[in-house]
Amino acid sequence: MSGCCGHVAKFDGVSDDYKRRLWIVIALNATMFAVEMTAGHLAKSQALQADALDFAGDAMTYGISLAVIGASLRARTNAALFKGFSLLLMGLWVFGSTIYRVFYVGVPTAEIMGAVGFLALLTNLASVFLLVRYKDGDANVRSVWLCSRNDAIGNVAVMFAALGVWGTATGWPDLIVATIMAGLFLSSAFQIVRQAIAERREMIDHKHAEV
């Protein structure tokens, strides 16, 4: 699809197939948030709880993405900015809670971490498979892909954390992975915000050029 002034317009989510896939992914993420948060509490795993929070953030992200599909560029960039700043706050929370846990390090239950991490990985691989054909698009669509990718990476990291906890009989691998995941949240937040601001600037420049 071609845009004006010789630019190629980015996919903005206006597709029935894309919407159907988003609804499926929202259901998957909401379910896994409940499962992982419960398991993380039972296993005393900071990494599992961080990953559960990522699922919650994703469900919110996908819901907002659905709500603004077909809306103006301003509305879509506002949604992307909101999601970016939400990810930023999520990353800061995980960093803060992980630092707190450093001073009171319990040993998580590695078996629960590994089993739930594997279940979450399967869920996120399904989400990635559903969304991969739409990974390139405007800031709103791009944020959906980045969140799905983060989940899959996070689940692999949780499984490595479970292996580390089992092998060392300490909680440090769990805390290290939680910190890495927090960094991933922050990195994605900056990417989403940067793209949204760039798209907003292009919109303003285009309007000025038309005057």
Q: pLDDT tens for residues 96-141?
A: 766 666 565 566 677 777 788 788 888 888 888 888 887 777 777 7
Tens digit of each residue's pLDDT (9 = 90 or more) over 149-169: 777 777 787 778 778 878 887
Q: Tell me whether residue 99 is in a domain.
A: yes
Per-residue 3-state assignment (H helix, E strand, C coil) for the chain: CECHHHCECCCCCCCHHHHHHHHHHHHHHHHHHHHHHHHHHHHCCHHHHHHHHHHHHHHHHHHHHHHHCCCCHHHHHHHHHHHHHHHHHHHHHHHHHHHHHHCCCCCCCHHHHHHHHHHHHHHHHHHHHHHHHHCCCCHHHHHHHHHHHHHHHHHHHHHHHHHHHHHHCCCHHHHHHHHHHHHHHHHHHHHHHHHHHHHHHHHHHHHHHHC
Q: Tell me whether residue 6 is in a domain.
A: no
pTM, two decimals, is 0.64
Q: Tell me whether residue 100 is in a domain.
A: yes
7 has pLDDT over 60:
no
Q: Tell me whether residue 4 is in a domain.
A: no
Domains identified in the chain, total number: 1
Q: Tell me whether residue 5 is in a domain.
A: no
Average pLDDT over the chain, rounded to whole? 77
How far apart are the C-alpha atoms of 136 and 129, rounded to whole Å?
14
167 burial (CB, 10 Å; 0-12 / 13-18 / 19+) is exposed
What average pLDDT does range 88-103 have in this prediction?
71
- Domain span at residue 193 reads 13-131+138-210
Q: Tell me whether residue 158 is in a domain.
A: yes
83 burial (CB, 10 Å; 0-12 / 13-18 / 19+) is buried
77 has pLDDT over 90:
no
The letter for the amino acid at 76 is: R
Q: Tell me whether residue 2 is in a domain.
A: no
